[in-house]
Amino acid sequence: DTDKIKRAARRVAAAKKQGYAVVVVVSALGDTTDDLMDLCQKITSSPSRRELDMLLSTGEQISTALLAMALHQIKVDAVSLTGFQVGIQTDASHTRARILGVSRERLMTELGRGRVVVVAGFQGVGPEKEITTLGRGGSDLTALALAKALGARACEIYTDVEGVFTADPRRVPEARKIHRISYEEMLELASSGAQVMQSRSIELAGKFDVPIHVRSSATGKQGTWIVKGDSSMENILVRGVTANKNEAKITLRNITDRPGMAGALFRQIATAGINVDMIIQNIAVSGRRTDISFTVSAADLNEAVRVISKIRPAIEKKHIIADRDIAKISVVGIGMRSHSGVAADMFEVLGKNRINIDMISTSEIKISCVVQKKNADRAVRVLHQHFIKQKDRYTVVK
């Protein structure tokens, strides 16, 4: 709201007064993006992605102008710029564009004039001068790209929580704030459902070693620093527990098991710009038939089913089963790389609490399980109780 915009302006002014050259990236106000999506859905359930970008990019432009006005009111020279004006160049992938480069010229010109530069997050410009957007949470990515381009000392991300927690504090009241976390751990947490930051922004920060300070917009307290990992971080086996309820599972039943089938299937899905997360293929039984299950973002489910339906003759028109009632539960910790037993503990805890596991995937520092969505919050609580609350048990003293 306007009071919070004025508070943000005062914080920016304080940083400017301390001698910093300041670039501010803003997101849309409150529920603006959701409201714009609701308007869209009242017109069509399958909008052109180009037109969706034209629509959704307007939310951030409102915020940039209002914050610049609020800064003017307290005698701070500021200018608001869109992604196009600041020179954030992207590929042509509407609604999920990737940043290809950032032009420093306009930024440096405005900073040289002593102005605060207020940039619309979440948006850029494609090869044909088309407006593009960077996916939900894309303002984080804008901020990290600008921080890298400017050689900033750090990128501060202001949000409605005091930092990164061991679990979602709204679901787990005893969740603890993490003071320092590695890029690797934060990337796994973000990609597994922690909504405090967009995963692509963490990937960029880690690649170029841009320190991030996630902190509350309401207080001056220190938050969570996301930095390069070090040996001390390996002392903690499990850093956090997450739930991602925005996933869906697709199962293809009794399809022909022949070389190249999986490749053809997932090539079609990839061509449609749909990311696949977990994949399980059963061993063929009763001849050359098998089942394949995989997960996608819930937002991509309808499109994924449509793409698969178009190639159904290639899989002999077998059943496609779509399931939205799932969630992905993950435990993450850099210490898991060199210590065993975490997976066994996770499966035992879920089993004792009568939570069935549908799918499992692992990486060096993450274990994920697909469970029924109705069990997601309980799964996070019992795993947090086991791994985080019993801190001494899962901290390796060296």
Arithmetic mean of pLDDT over the chain: 90
Output the pTM of the full model. 0.85
Q: How confident is the model at residue 398 (pLDDT cuts 50, 70, 90)?
A: very low
Of residues 322, 318, 329, the one with CA closest to residue 376: 329
Average pLDDT over residues 265-294: 84
The tokens describing 328, both together, are 């992905």
Query: How far apart (Å, rounded) are the C-alpha atoms in residues 183 and 207?
Result: 9
Query: How far apart (Å, rounded) are the C-alpha atoms in residues 36 and 347?
Result: 41
Q: Which pLDDT score is estimated for 290? A: 82
Query: In 10 A of CB 265, how many CB atoms?
Result: 20
More confident position, 288 or 351: 351
pLDDT cut 90: percent of the chain above it: 72
Q: Are 328 and 192 in contact (CB under 8 A)?
A: yes
Q: Give me the DSSP letters along 302-366.
A: HHHHHHHHHTGGGGTT--EEEE-SEEEEEEE-GGGGG---HHHHHHHHHHHTT----EEEE-SSE
Least confident segment among 81-90, 258-267, 297-306, 345-354: 258-267
Q: Which pLDDT score is estimated for 264? A: 85
Q: Which pLDDT score is estimated for 198? A: 86
Q: How confident is the model at residue 391 (pLDDT cuts 50, 70, 90)?
A: low
Of residues 195, 173, 190, the one with CA closest to residue 239: 190
How far is residue 145 CA from its own chain's centroid? 15
Query: In 10 A of CB 18, how many CB atoms?
Result: 8
Q: How confident is the model at residue 235 (pLDDT cuts 50, 70, 90)?
A: confident
Average pLDDT over residues 331-341: 87
Q: Are 303 and 271 in contact (CB under 8 A)?
A: no
Q: Which pLDDT score is estimated for 315? A: 56
Rounded to 10 degrees, what is the CA torsion of 214, 218, 220, 224? -20
Tell me the CB-side half-sphere exposure of residue 99, using CA atoms within 13 A: 29
Per-residue model confidence as pLDDT tens digits over 166-223: 999 888 999 999 999 999 999 999 888 887 888 889 999 999 999 999 999 888 899 9
Q: How confident is the model at residue 232 (pLDDT cuts 50, 70, 90)?
A: confident
Helix (H) or strand (E) holding 96: none
Rounded to 10 degrees, what is the CA torsion of 142, 146, 148, 154? -90
pLDDT at 41 over 90: yes
Q: Which pLDDT score is estimated for 313? A: 58
| Bridge pairing between strands 78-81 and 123-125 | unpaired
